[in-house]
Structure 1
Amino acid sequence: MKMNGRTFHSKQIHCIFLLLLTFYHGCYGTAKYFNDQETLEEENLEWMTNINNDIELSKLFIPGTHDSLALYGGPAAKCQSWNLETQLKAGVRYFDLRVWNIFNRPTKMILTHGLVIQFKLLSSVFQDMVQFLTKYESETILIRIKPELWHKKDVKANTLTLLSTLKYQKYVYPPLKGQSPAESPKMKDVRGKIVFLKLNDAFDFGIPYTTTHKSGEHKVADIEDKFNMVLGYINTQMTSNDKTTDIDEQTEEDQDLILTYSSGTGWPIGRPLSTPKKIAKDINNQLAKNLNELSTTTVLHGILAMDFPGPDLIKIVIDFNKPHLVDKPGTSNGKRSLKRGQA
């Protein structure tokens, strides 16, 4: 073959083709650690299936989202692109719900981000979650409800009334009535259930947890500083001493459920270009790189709540739970769900 007066042999053509193919995949086949699309290409549906039943929930490393249903309101308010159903399919298992008790009626409580209503009733959120758990009974969903704006003190009572009205009592942990719950439940206690996290005086129902977040840390002046802060929390407060899964050797500190947010915004401090989306795009890519480096030597535990997470970042978080898997003869769901795109 001749080109511009030069003769190219088949081996040279083959090498050129391989170089072009490598370039193509480098540009277009990159992993998705950040996502701003409504659709989902790769699912992590049943990743909890083969988790050891005797492992405490706090020992898992759980992918979550911050302001989980903030889908509307423009660049300043939008924190996610996937709706609730899609996030569940992507493998997200922690949801940060901001609830406005706007008419002080259980059936009218609505999701919001500040003053920006998100067009999703809390009753609809519970219905979607129960529908998912009915289909995938091995899974567990964790939620934290934060009352917003007015009638905040009535949100807890209205929520519990709503769950009873919907006849969802059996899907709730801690139980609405009856036996005393464990403050650090095991997987066998919470499969197929919605686990509430107790938000001190704001929503005094659920299991206790510890947050690494300090007041004002959501305000981001410098993205690199924000990332280093998040990485510091992961390295110091979400890291197990070694790769042992011996439940008898867990300390009380190990049993605490830790919650870390990687999200942030520059709007409150006059940086309108530092939107939640812009910050997430930078931080998610750095998170993926550093988590991949930690994955060979470290066991992480707790909840990592993110803005705009991509399926590959969620998968990295999920894969930290491989030491907690138990092989069950005749079942393949747990292993299958750890491979993207299979359900």
Structure 2
Amino acid sequence: MRSQGGEAIGTMETTIREQTEAFDNTPLPSTFLPDWMSDLPDHLTLSEISVPGTHDSMSLFGGSKIRCQSWPLEAQLAAGVRFLDVRCKLEGDHFLIYHVNTFQEADFSSVLKDTLSFLKEHPRETILMRVKEELPIIPNAEFAPRLGRYLDEEGQGRVWAKEAIPTLGQARGKVVILEELEKEVLGVPYEELNVGDAWHVLSPECKWDKVKEHLGLATNGDQAALYLTFCSGNGLFTNPEELAKDINQRCYELLRAQAGQAVRWGVVIMDFPGAGLIQTIVESNLETGSGHPLA
């Protein structure tokens, strides 16, 4: 299976590349934050931390209505992304990565391998990974049990597959699975999380109202609850890239307005994030001007 590295990037359709603090559709991020979790206290639960994430993290192919990212997986992780949205279809013995019906030239084996490789090099980090079956006409009864066996066999003992949301100390060096399965528990149940995902977009203004509202809930909500806010979306009159130019900038301005304050934004999930927006989310975990983690 081909890696989604430089070779794959080279096959993508030619387009004008843009890079701002909030939005980036270039092949690689401008700055890297590979160890930003390392100084945060072990006692913090993952629900108490602000975490940058990507929506449809492996969706690099398929044209403007399908493509959601321009950075390969390794670059996303190095840039500071700590939530991955991974969508699979079980075909034969392989969990292939899809966005809708477009194959993304990767499989779950390569995703898990690359993620665990990153964590081996950065053992004080953790990765939240949402795993779901992508748009099955009829849910595959073998999907959950085979995924469970796969995580046991290929997870190298570094997969958090329990229902409880772990502390950072418990999760360091591990992939924390957020699963959407009906009958088996292979991780933190997705339906128990507080998710804001208004993905069907009528207008950028309506989408932003939903994002802003859910970010407000995350800042004031129960610290034990994990909040996921999707800034991503698609619609008849827009596409993921065009929407991200608008929503990412609004999100960046909102978060920057509270820079230096102790703000829990939860997991902020984006298409085409810029390095400045990622850094702003990360820095919300630090005390004003001190560079020290919040207790």
Corresponding position: 1:256 with 2:236: no
Larger radius of gyration: 1
Corresponding position: 1:60 with 2:29: no
Distance 1:50 1:93 in 2: 15
Distance 1:120 1:203 in 2: 25
TM-score (norm 1): 0.74
Structure 2 residue aligned with 1:127, among 113, 118, 121? 113
After superposition, the C-alpha distances for 1:244-292 in whole angstroms (9 at most, x for unaligned) are xxxxxxxxx32011111010111xxx32xx1100000011111100111
Q: Structure 1 285/192 Cα, relative in aligned 2: closer, same or farther at 3 Å?
A: same
Corresponding position: 1:317 with 2:286: no
Distance 1:262 1:327 in 2: 27
- Give the secondary structure class of the aligned counterpart of 2:219: coil
Q: Gaps (5+ residues) in structure 2?
A: 1-18
**Richer in helix (by share):** 1
Matches within 5 A, 1:77-156: 77-103=66-92, 105=93, 108-148=94-134, 149=136, 152-156=140-144
After superposition, the C-alpha distances for 1:41-60 in whole angstroms (9 at most, x for unaligned) are 21011000000011111100
- Give the secondary structure class of the aligned counterpart of 2:157: helix
Equivalent residue for 2:10? none
Q: Is contact 1:147–1:203 with CA below 8 Å preserved after alignment? A: no
Q: Structure 1 213/154 Cα, relative in aligned 2: closer, same or farther at 3 Å?
A: farther
- Give the secondary structure class of the aligned counterpart of 1:201: coil
Distance 1:163 1:121 in 2: 14
Equivalent residue for 1:194? 175
Matches within 5 A, 1:147-296: 147-148=133-134, 149=136, 152-166=140-154, 168-174=155-161, 181=162, 183-199=164-180, 201=182, 204-208=185-189, 209-213=192-196, 217-235=198-216, 237-240=217-220, 253-266=222-235, 270-271=236-237, 274-296=238-260
Distance 2:170 2:29 in 1: 30
Distance 2:33 2:24 in 1: 15
Distance 2:250 2:96 in 1: 34
Paired amino acid for 1:283: I
Residue-pair matches, total: 271
After TM superposition, give the deviation of residue 221 of structure 1 in Å: 1.3
Matches within 5 A, 1:24-39: 31-39=20-28
Paired amino acid for 1:263: S
After TM superposition, give the deviation of residue 161 of structure 1 in Å: 1.7
Q: Is contact 2:25–2:69 with CA below 8 Å preserved after alignment? A: yes
After TM superposition, give the deviation of residue 156 of structure 1 in Å: 2.1
Paired amino acid for 1:282: D
After TM superposition, give the deviation of residue 165 of structure 1 in Å: 3.1
After TM superposition, give the deviation of residue 202 of structure 1 in Å: 7.6
After TM superposition, give the deviation of residue 240 of structure 1 in Å: 4.0
Q: Is contact 2:80–2:278 with CA below 8 Å preserved after alignment? A: yes
- Give the secondary structure class of the aligned counterpart of 1:197: strand
Corresponding position: 1:69 with 2:58: yes
After TM superposition, give the deviation of residue 296 of structure 1 in Å: 4.3
Distance 1:211 1:132 in 2: 28
TM-score (norm 2): 0.85
